Amino acid sequence: MPSAFGHAFPGLRRTMFHFRRHWWTLVTPASWGPRQVCASFATGPRQYDRTFYEFRTYTIQPAKMNEFLENTKKHIHLRTNYSELIGYWRQEFGNVMNKVVHIWKYDDFAHRARVREALAKDEEWQEKYISPNLPLMVQQKNEITYLVPWCKIEKPPKEGFYELVTFHMKPGGPALWGEDFQRAVNTHIQVGYSKLIGVFHTEYGTLNRVHVLWWTDTPDNRAAGRHRAHEDARVVAAVRESCSHLESQENMLLIPLPFSPLK
């Protein structure tokens, strides 16, 4: 039957053949340029910089915190020989207690792999730090994060306190919530009660999380600034828009340790 149809309408058969060939050329992946694919399917700004930051959170036995911190102070130099430490803090307030939080910077994943391999072979590090400290820990967590494209890590003007605010956003990525979230952060900066240190989004760990690290000179000034922010119409409007993308949030007040680069 198809053959008879084709013989009866040879012009139509040629037209359909050319249409099918042209349509296949349009949808063949080889005809898509990389930019076209990324523009169509990207869920956020492209990560051109391979640098990432590892957040490590350790929960320490309550009676062993001082011992853990003293041993870390003595031997942290063995660890910083291999990669850059951004900051190291002891938790003061917020959720489960007896935590320490530290952030490490890596050039890329190959860099981190080399560092981990070297540490495993470093007998002094293993004997003086790992062996005595591991029994003091209740839990270890880590997350791989990138800085959001619109910020860089800033240094505080002097020693003070830090607030780590963690937002769990609805799935969809920065393409959905990025602009509203940036606007909310910027309005808090304008109020001026605390200094933004960095904004990080997770790549490995619990996804759709954003960590915002703030600095303040004293917890009391931070509290007073929060009260002012609650009465600022700009902050209220921006937070209302950002909260439409929010699942949950939590915060911790952190005290920098003497060996922390960020103090």
List pLDDT tens digits, range 210-263.
999 999 999 998 888 887 777 777 766 766 667 667 678 888 999 999 999 999
- Residue 157's identity, in one-letter code, is P
Give DSSP secondary structure letters for 218-241.
Answer: -HHHHHHHHHHHHT-HHHHHHHHH
Q: What percent of the chain has pLDDT over 70?
A: 78
Q: What pLDDT shows up at residue 181?
A: 81
**Segments forming the whole domain that contains residue 107:** 52-256
Phi, psi of 206 (to 5 degrees): -75, 120
Q: For residue 18, what pLDDT band results from cuts at 50, 70 and 90? A: very low
| Pair 47, 75: CB distance under 8 Å | no
pLDDT greater than 90 at residue 90: yes
pLDDT greater than 80 at residue 175: no
Q: What pLDDT shows up at residue 46?
A: 53
Answer whether residue 5 is part of any domain.
no
Answer whether residue 12 is part of any domain.
no
pLDDT greater than 70 at residue 34: no
Q: What pLDDT shows up at residue 30?
A: 39
Answer whether residue 155 is part of any domain.
yes
Q: Which of 15-29, 151-165, 171-185 has the highest mean pLDDT?
A: 151-165
d(CA 229, CA 27) in angstroms, rounded, equals 52
Per DSSP (E only), the strands in the chain are 52-60, 84-93, 99-106, 137-147, 161-169, 195-204, 209-216, 246-256
Q: What pLDDT shows up at residue 58?
A: 97
Count other Cβ atoms within 10 Å, centred on residue 130: 15
Q: What pLDDT shows up at residue 180?
A: 79
Residues making up the chain, counted from first to last:
263
Answer whether residue 208 is part of any domain.
yes
Answer whether residue 33 is part of any domain.
no
Give DSSP secondary structure letters for 25-49.
Answer: HHHSGGGS-HHHHHHHH-SS-----
Answer whether residue 91 is part of any domain.
yes
pLDDT greater than 60 at residue 52: yes
Number of folded domains that form the chain:
1
Token pair recorded at residue 242: 């950002």
Entry pTM: 0.78
The CATH number covering residue 187 comes to 3.30.70.100
| Pair 170, 176: CB distance under 8 Å | yes
Token pair recorded at residue 67: 């011992």
Answer whether residue 22 is part of any domain.
no
Answer whether residue 10 is part of any domain.
no
